[in-house]
Amino acid sequence: MTGAREPRWSLDSAGDQSGRIAVVTGANTGIGLEIARDLAHRGATVVLACRNAERAAAARADILAGAADASVYVEELDTSSLTSVGLCAGRLRERWPVIDLLINNAGVMAKQHTVTEEGFELDFVTNFLGHFALTGHLADTLSAAPAARVVTVSSLTHRRRNATLDYDDLTLHRGFDSELAYARSKMASMTFMIELQRRFAASGSRAISLAAHPGGVRTGILREQNRLVQLVYSPRMTWLTGWFTQGTVEGAEPILRAALDPNVEGGEFFGPGGRGELIGPSVPVEISRRALDPAAGTRLWAVAEKLTGVSFPGA
């Protein structure tokens, strides 16, 4: 689980994915779009599960422009709303009773403290809790697949010292900081990824759980941050910042490795292997000890089940 080995791998070896059903959340832009594009071009049936249906339709058209025969569908999904998650999961289950690949990619890095109508801090519910609920709703469709994978898109920030979850203040009412909220949501996501793998293994499921991070990718998730941050990660500044940032195609590669590499093991975490894990080819990378702690996983799981009302069959 710690990612000590570094086998050589490239997307060229991933091969045809015909017959597989893949759901990608937040797939209308950024790395989500590139993940969906790659899977569709390999023959997988891809579902773009996105908050904005109009933008998702445009993303679908963009993918089909490069592969007219690709099988791409759009489903409305807002992971910041458990109601939306439940409705989307119901539609997915009805249309695709077997799902081979779930990529939990949708994310936000809110600039201001925002609590949703359901009472959750925006980063926490969008990045973690909504995906926990979606995975739970789809657990039986994943178990029905011959070799399903759940891939969590995480972040280097989960390893920050202050990323430890405060269960007495999950909404961050006692003090909001944008970077802290994001880091803690990613700590929750990583802890969930590991605990999900434990439960898959204990139940004898053929599914596995993995995670990956895109590195210093130039993406729209930083659109609410200050102008300096936006400038650093702007595609227009590549000539200056290219030594520590990379594009969405490169950023998608670690996630695609987790999804497609036949030699991965459940519980592994992939990221760029170059400078500071910000750029470079995908390799196994380190997971925070806090996320690996079984007690932390059990506690988070129980809290998430209580908050969402979603339980996993057999878990």
CA distance 259 to 272: 15
DSSP string, 241-284: HTTT-B-HHHHHHHHHHHHH-TT--TT-EEEE-SGGGTSSSEEE
The whole-angstrom separation of Cα 240 and Cα 232 is 9
Q: Which residues of 230-260 are buried (b: 16+ CB within 10 A; e: fewer)?
A: eebbeeeeeeebeeebbbbbbbbbbbbbbbb
**Cα dihedral 179, 182, 185, 186 in deg (nearest 10):** -100
List, by residue number, the catalytic residues. 182
**Integer-rounded Cα radius of gyration of the chain:** 18
Contacts of 8 (CB under 8 A, 6+ apart): none
For residues 81 and 107, the answer to whether their CB atoms sit within 8 Å is: no
Strand partners, 75: 49
Residues 6+ apart with CB under 8 A from 28: 48, 50, 52, 55, 56, 58, 59
What's the CA gap between 200 and 194, in Å, rounded?
A: 10
Rounded CA separation 130/188 (Å): 12
Vertex 219 angle, CA 85 and 125, to 5°: 25
Name the residue among 228, 227, 274, 232 with its Cα closest to residue 250. Answer: 274
